[in-house]
Structure 1
Amino acid sequence: MIELLHIPMAGAAGQIDVYSGVSRMAGKLWGSLHRAEGGSKTAVVVVHPSSNFLGHYLLAPLAERGVDAVGLTTRYLGNDSTLLMENCVLDIGAAVAFLRERGYERIALVGNSGGGGLVALYQSQAESPSVRHTPAGDPPDLTAATLPPVDALIELMAHPGRAIVYTEWLDPAIVDEHDPWRRDPSVDLFDERNGPPYTPEFLTRFRTAQLDRNRRITAWVRETLAGLAENPAGVRDLPFVVHGTGAEPRFLDLTMEPTGRAPGTMWGPAAQANLMPASLGHHTSLRSWLSQWSIDESHCAGPYHLARTSVPTLVLYGTADQACFPSHARSLFDAVPHENKELRAVEGGTHYLQGQPGLVAQVADAVVDWVRPA
């Protein structure tokens, strides 16, 4: 049986960070509850900051295995241009509280892909709240929020955090933020003179230039926000475009962290995905940049926050994943500060297990085994 959940949203406070007026007035978060036959006192919640997980591939298999499964959406469903990670934490808190009120005795969070860093941040703030405002100084204050802890975490084909992976993908060859065709050939991933394969010297230069670009954008964001503070019309935020967000060397050089993955990205060839509007994080606002994409300012660093948690944690990674690599999984696993944890490879698994029903079943079995009471 499938039920559409209407979960009251917490902390909206009239702030317009969601385009749709209907969504703002509704004040609801949406979840897709797949119920196990005979009922279950355990709920597994699959979440991502902005992806639509109402039809996530794990929901039906989990319910078939005897646990209730929820595909949760945040208020930023389908549009992360104004996303604040701190509000996503509030949204998970609202969902967990809602499920506790329904009588669920055990709740586990599955952070899939970009959900990995988010569930780590959530449980960290549920156990030991420390974040009092966004990096821009705005609400919410997570130390005063209702954030019920969950009983287990599962990191599924997850990276360590949006700002971390975004910086790993940021194209440092772009020297003019308004013109993606003005490029520095010395750090151009797509200039065949540089590779692939890429030399250690190039990669050192490339990674340094990625950090530099992220920090240049952050400095510009801070400067622009300071100017807006004096704006007589009360404008507090502005949108902008970031070109070149798919320049990860591992997309092209399969000798780097070799796995069973195919070359390229989830959106196709890397040179196209790098500039494709629908790929990662091209559209953002000033305040969202600081919360979501800034390597130095975002609160959502998965390893840092997992180190502040105490619940059993399972880390699953696909050996053919084009987006999240074994080193991402290892960084999450190593950060867990206790021994009630497991790192498990899904051999041949791609990022979304598309067309891999046997591996979907394998992952569902692993999740159910992990969340069952001892």
Structure 2
Amino acid sequence: MPTRELLAIDVVASGRLDVNSGVARMSGKTWAVLWRGGPRRASTVVLFVHPASNFMGHYATEYMSTLGVDAAGLATRYVGNDSALIMENCLLDIGAAIAHLRDLGYERVVLVGNSGGGGLAALYQAQAESPDITRTPAGDPVDIAGAGLSPADSLVMAMAHPGRAVVYTEALDAAIVDELNPFARDESLDMFDPRNGPVYPDEFIRRYREAQIARNRRITEWAQQTLIEIAEEAEPSGGSEADALDDLPFVVHGTAADPRFLDGTIDPSDRKLTTLWGAPWSANFRPASLGHYSSLRSWLSQWSYDLSRANAYKQLPKVQAPVLVVYGSADCAAFPSHARGMADAVRHDDVELVEIEGADHYFQGRPDLARRMSSIIVDWGTR
């Protein structure tokens, strides 16, 4: 009979006010839920990670605990609030979780980056094997190189895209020409204008992708320049240095405009033409969809196309551990080209690419396919 255990994991605070809750900041802990299949701990534990989603109730963990392993879902310090998220701090949280699991006696740790956890898990493993990060993209000290991160024994990309900055840029609305007015639009780059498609011509796609990257880079340049300006002008007045203004929030409109959402001939698969948040036009502006709120520092670490390090395409070539990539043929968020690109990025031979036919991003209505994914990961991770 599976049993559930709450893990309180000590973490290193960032020293910056980047978590709203004082209770969370002052606790010095992050949390995970561990499922065990029996009274004794298994020799292998599977750890599911994501930068901001609450994986303490992850759908796969309880079932996995019936397959001869224990399984845990982690919540980082940024759970449910990625507006100030720093990817490098998430590495410290994963490192603390893996160290905690090893202290509990687990001999093997299988690290699973699920969905937006793919790029983060790849970055973690690359840094755990060969650490070299000492600063965030904004220049803030973060001692990844000296943190003593414990490498996982194997790495899984499960229903994952290569990283938040990559998939975010692929979904930035290229038609927006005024960051303060999402309805001031370049008609020639508007994927929602029926004169452009779908089906979208190759030339439109080429221009659209170029414009998306250019927009991301404009926001990155503005964020960097704004950080310089506030450092020069916003000195503390009668307070300590820690009270000085050192970041600002901002809004990004139009973040669910990937042409693949409307055109099934691009990156062909069994997916429905939609997004994880509903119809593309409304999801593009809906507050609950991806990455509408950010701080300057978080943008550089999390969303910047050029500066964010949590990019599996760039990190997987550095990874020496075995890698499994599992994807669904009906996924409308992590596409077949993402899975193939991640598998191709691995530079050693111990890599496997597995398609689960008919599976969407969350296995909606198909618990049998979720169990299949779980079995694939367990069988591979306990070879």
Deviation at 1:132, TM superposition (A): 1.5
Is the partner of 1:333 in helix, strand or coil?
A: helix
Unaligned runs of 5+ in 2: 237-243
Structure 2 residue corresponding to 1:283, chosen from 289, 293, 296: 293
- Divergent runs of 4+, >2 A: none
What is the alpha-carbon distance in structure 2 between the residues aligned to residue 354 and residue 145 of structure 1? 39
Query: What's the counterpart of residue 14 of structure 1?
Result: 15
Query: What's the counterpart of residue 163 of structure 1?
Result: 165
Deviation at 1:354, TM superposition (A): 1.8
Is the partner of 2:119 in helix, strand or coil?
A: helix
Query: What's the counterpart of residue 240 of structure 2?
Result: none
Alignment of 1:321 with 2:331, yes or no, is: yes
Query: What's the counterpart of residue 39 of structure 1?
Result: 41
Query: How many pairs align?
Result: 372
Checking the alignment, whether the CA contact within 8 Å between 1:314 and 1:343 is kept in structure 2 is yes
Letter in 2 for 1:30: W
Checking the alignment, whether the CA contact within 8 Å between 1:50 and 1:76 is kept in structure 2 is yes
Question: What is the root-mean-square deviation of aligned Cα atoms in Å?
Answer: 0.8
Unaligned runs of 5+ in 1: none
Deviation at 1:39, TM superposition (A): 2.8
Query: What's the counterpart of residue 27 of structure 1?
Result: 28
Letter in 1 for 2:208: F
CA displacement 1:132-158 (0-9 Å, x = unmatched): 210000121211112001101110011
Query: What's the counterpart of residue 235 of structure 2?
Result: 232
Deviation at 1:170, TM superposition (A): 0.4
- List aligned pairs for 1:110-129, cutoff 5 A: 110-129=112-131
Alignment of 1:74 with 2:76, yes or no, is: yes
Query: What's the counterpart of residue 343 of structure 1?
Result: 353
Structure 1 residue corresponding to 2:305, chosen from 287, 290, 295: 295
What is the alpha-carbon distance in structure 1 between the residues aligned to residue 37 and residue 184 of structure 2? 55
CA displacement 1:257-301 (0-9 Å, x = unmatched): 111101111111000110010000000000000000000111111
What is the alpha-carbon distance in structure 1 between the residues aligned to residue 324 and residue 45 of structure 2? 16
Query: What's the counterpart of residue 135 of structure 1?
Result: 137
Alignment of 1:364 with 2:374, yes or no, is: yes
Query: What's the counterpart of residue 149 of structure 2?
Result: 147
Q: 1:64 to 1:221 in 2, by over 3 A?
A: same
Letter in 2 for 1:36: G
CA displacement 1:282-325 (0-9 Å, x = unmatched): 00000000000000111111121111111111100000000000
Letter in 1 for 2:158: L
What is the alpha-carbon distance in structure 2 between the residues aligned to residue 133 and residue 192 of structure 1? 45
Structure 2 residue corresponding to 1:271, chosen from 271, 281, 285: 281
Query: What's the counterpart of residue 241 of structure 2?
Result: none
Letter in 1 for 2:172: L
Letter in 2 for 1:367: I
Deviation at 1:247, TM superposition (A): 0.4
Letter in 2 for 1:365: S
Is the partner of 2:94 in helix, strand or coil?
A: helix
CA displacement 1:230-272 (0-9 Å, x = unmatched): 1123200000000000000000001111111011111110001
Deviation at 1:13, TM superposition (A): 4.2
TM-score (structure 2 length as normaliser): 0.96
What is the alpha-carbon distance in structure 1 between the residues aligned to residue 148 and residue 94 of structure 2? 10
Letter in 2 for 1:21: G
Deviation at 1:361, TM superposition (A): 1.4
What is the alpha-carbon distance in structure 2 between the residues aligned to residue 241 and residue 349 of structure 1? 33
Query: What's the counterpart of residue 191 of structure 1?
Result: 193
Query: What's the counterpart of residue 4 of structure 1?
Result: 6
Query: What's the counterpart of residue 88 of structure 1?
Result: 90
Checking the alignment, whether the CA contact within 8 Å between 2:41 and 2:106 is kept in structure 1 is no
Alignment of 1:254 with 2:264, yes or no, is: yes
**In terms of mean alpha carbon deviation, does 137-146 or 43-52 score higher?**
137-146
What is the alpha-carbon distance in structure 1 between the residues aligned to residue 263 and residue 180 of structure 2? 28
Query: What's the counterpart of residue 354 of structure 1?
Result: 364
**In terms of mean alpha carbon deviation, does 71-80 or 137-146 score higher?**
137-146
